[in-house]
A and B are shown apart, each in its own frame.
Chain A
Amino acid sequence: MPTITLHDAQKTYGAGAANAVSNLDLEIGDGEFMCLLGPSGCGKTTTLRMIAGLENLSGGEIRIGERVVDSVRQGIFIPPERREMGLVFQSYALWPHLTIERNTDFGLRLRKVPKKEREARVEQVMRALDIEKYRTRYPSQLSGGQQQRVALARMLAVNPGILLLDEPLSNLDARLRLEMRAELKRIHREYRTTIVFVTHDQWEAMTLATRIAVMNEGTLQQIGTPNEIYDYPANRFVAEFVGSPPINILRLDDANRTGFANAAGRFLDQWQAGSEGAGSLGIRPEALRLSLTAERVPEDCFNCPVEVTGILPTGGSWILELAGEGDPLFMTMHEAPEMELGTKAHLWAKPQAIHVFDANGRRSAAFDRSVRQRAFVQ
């Protein structure tokens, strides 16, 4: 199966408009399950449609394996019908005038697959997705989840090397969504298809992807495995977009330098090498700890006195609102907090759990280095 390479791909809608996608370099390896993740309007769907050939480029090129399928400079454009891919639309786009069976074997008929083989193939895919009982029905007679399966079956029937999915789960209810996620993972394993999956749901991306490409405002923010994205966000945008409840950001440019900002400043001062040019500091809610006395806070840690101002049970875990000076922070706990509102305590977090970003929001590599060095020395 081929790799997909986007080189400097660009898309603008009309002169003067902001780029929908700008200077995108992306390589999607053979057999990967790549998630394009980002808020709505970030260019992820446009990117997917460019790969499919449904959207023209404004610049750059796209290769599949060694074959250039789209290039402005070379004047090459292979139309979607000759790219041999599969695409599942967000709306499913089933053909309302054809039965489920005809929807499913459409591609095979176009490819003039002999009848026997075609029927066997349709049978197999329909059984795999558990839709053979709807064979003679029309799309409007099916529920959303069933339609979703048909849309998937329709594409899998022709066994494409590359399967593109445009937010295919967003119209399903929570339970179905979970089922379909498992289904997709199974399909990916069984068919060894390269999958490119567009979603704005970080949960979905985390659970499904082998790699995630985070996009914002038409530019690529970071590519990495789900863990890399979560544990080492390349910039503030990625840090804030991934994670729920969202990461706590402590800004250092706060003029008064009181409260949290002050604590953050004090913490950074211990790391001469890493603190230069730092603009903000991020701590994930689950990395925060509370101690009732200052003595119980370990050395070298970020720490700050706070007051518990809110306890929000979420079923199985709890979110605490902690006020100091500045915007409140949120922390998650997995055991029932045995304290009352108004309790005064010390908040702390290990240096390894702290993300430092410079004034432009970029992750500070220097800080990470010095944390690692100190850990090594110890």
Chain B
Amino acid sequence: MQPLSSSAKDPDTVDGEPRVAFVQPSSYERLRYRLMSALREPTTIIGLLTALLFAYLIVVPVASMLTDAVHVQFGDERRVGKPFGELTVYYLSRAFVSPISSTLFWTPLLNTLSVSFGAILLSFLVGSPLAWLLSRTDMFGRKWFATALIVPYMLPAWTFALAWTTLFKNRTVGGQPGWIEALGFTPPDWLAYGQVPITIVLALHYTPFIILLFGTALRRFDSQLEDSARILGARQHQVAWQIILPLMRPALLSAMVLIFAKCLGEFGVPYVLGLPVKFEVLSTSLFRSISSRQSGVAAVLAGAIMLIGVITLLVDAKLVKEARRFVTVGSKGTMNRLTRLGRMRIVAALFAGTVFALSVGLPLLTLFLSTIMEAPGRFTLDNFTLDYWIGRDLNNVALKTGILLSPDLWNAAWNTMWIVGLASITSGILGLLVGYVAVRTPFRPLATFLRQVTFLPYLVPGIAFATAYLSLFAVQRGPIPALYGTTAILMLALIADQMPYASRAGVSAMMQLGKDPEEAAQIAGAGWLRRMLMIVIPIQKGSLVTGILLPFISGIKGLSLFVVLAVPSTDVLTTFSLRLVDYHYTQAANAVVLIVAGIAYAGTLLGQKLTRTNIAEGLGG
């Protein structure tokens, strides 16, 4: 036996002989080799094509909108004093420093901030005790409440706004009186419209958000940390204040920041409740600029909303990172020990029940009753009617049949189904493709670009994104005809708007699957197409369904994107009901909203059944 084996570690010699230097490949050879092995499979090609598509669907519209903000728009030549297309700061100064900047931007900004902070505070006050009760105590009906209290989030936010007006409307606007007024008390303006109701409605809508995010964090909390404090002699309240709360802070802050980002883009609620008293927030101010065809100012406002959105989410990203630093302690300690409430169980359940009644029961009941009552607020038997649903020859100017018999409803419903449906299927498939490419391409920059570009719409509130689409597709550009007024623009905008969720779902599904099953097929001798058809797609069937269903639900109740881009012939259910609100067909509007809420709720339940997960957590979050 040789004392030294055939090759000792020595780069310069092999068996004591000088090593024959292997010629290093030149950079040309390296590049050729890399290209050859990368292009051998369609992954990279698909990646490049999708990257191009998203550059056009997402980057170009946003860029086009931002350039609109600093260029003279068509029709503004005289006012600006420069020819069409010249660089200008006119729109910026008009929005930020001119005498009317206060109406255009500053007051709406202030209102947006005060409404959002109010809503955040309120939902925190209601949501965090509920989160604790649901996740760490033995409250009565815990399981049931865990689902029931999330329902408000499954419904469109302006469901509550419409319910509110149905109850509190006063003579400031026309149409039928509100119930309270019909009962003989006239609600003052501050209670009927503007800041107070908007804040309350938004708070009701976003409380589930706190319950979900805070509840999850509480459930994951390592109870060993708590036990260690107890063993050292800390009382329950000391544990709560000195251990749990500080550790929960990032999760709580993150939930609040996300609520703010959502409030920022919220359009329906302030539109319904704010307009009668000229209470404007950023989104409604933007909408007004669009409808009065001030596209330059609209671009500036949309840009500002976008900027605030970006900053907010950067803050959130930082908080999430911090939260991750905290909640690393894992599996074993996360046994969920429940606090025994004793006699307080009933009180707790009463509290949760009240919240449920106020946030789900009351609004939905109000809306439903309002659609079967002739005169509002009069609870006598002869006042009840099904005319607004299925009646004929009603004494109206336009809507002469019950809503279910109106062709407009079915038209809008059909539009909703096929526009949102097709867009969701497309974005679901694109999302899976993006996930596949991002995980599998050997070109890291391509993967990074795809992830980032598909995430971009998340930073842009829907209404600003719609403005961007309007800016790009309102006129013919190159071979692309003017798309405004067509269903194509709705579809494209919807696809782009849904990509953050779709691509995240795709990426995480592909990450979870990992490379191994596909590589095993490759080793067994399967080429690319065969691997896709026999291995990847069959395994990912479930997540593809979720990836389509989730955007579909949020698309159905979505309003802000459609309100800018839809015209009467391309009405979807949400814009149709908003038009009915404008015409003061209260019963019909409420009925349509109920239909939307019903579809969204049913879709969520279906998704939950299909995926056996709590899908509400994934909704729009």
Contact = CB atoms under 8 A, between A and B. Distances in A.
Contacts, number: 140
Contacts of A107: 524-525
A158 B520 CA distance: 13
B40 interface: yes
B8 A87 contact: no
A81 interface: yes
A80 B4 contact: no
B29 to A, nearest CB: 5
B539 A110 contact: no
Interface stretch (A199-207, A225-233, A343-351): A225-233
Interface string B513-525: 0111101111111
A14 B6 CA distance: 32
Contacts of A96: 517, 539
A95 B8 contact: no
Contacts of B519: 54, 80, 87, 89, 93
A79 B521 CA distance: 12
A114 interface: no
Contacts of A106: 521, 524, 526
User: Interface extent on A, as a size class?
Assistant: 35 or more
B14 interface: yes
B47 to A, nearest CB: 17
B1 A228 contact: yes
Interface in A110-163: 110-111, 151, 154-155, 158
A237 B8 CA distance: 12
A80 B524 CA distance: 8
Contacts of B1: 227-228, 231-232
Contacts of B514: 91, 93
A54 to B, nearest CB: 5
Interface stretch (B31-39, B218-226, B422-430): B31-39
Contact of B517 (A59, A95, A224, A368): A95
A60 interface: yes
B533 interface: no
Nearest to B516: A93
A85 interface: yes
B196 interface: no
Nearest to A52: B523
Contacts of B23: 73
B24 A59 contact: yes
B4 A365 contact: yes
Given A56-B37, A73-B23, A222 B523 contact: no
Interface in A156-182: 158
Interface string B473-490: 000000000000000000
A75 B29 contact: yes
Interface of A: 7-8, 14, 23, 25, 52, 54, 56-60, 71-73, 75, 77, 79-82, 84-87, 89, 91-97, 106-107, 110-111, 151, 154-155, 158, 219-224, 227-229, 231-232, 234-235, 237, 362-363, 365, 368-369, 372
Interface of B: 1-11, 14, 22-25, 29-30, 32-34, 36-37, 40-41, 442, 444, 514-517, 519-527, 530, 535, 538-539
19 contacts: A25-B14, A56-B442, A59-B24, A72-B30, A73-B29, A77-B36, A77-B37, A80-B519, A82-B525, A89-B520, A94-B520, A95-B520, A110-B526, A220-B7, A228-B1, A234-B8, A234-B9, A235-B9, A365-B4
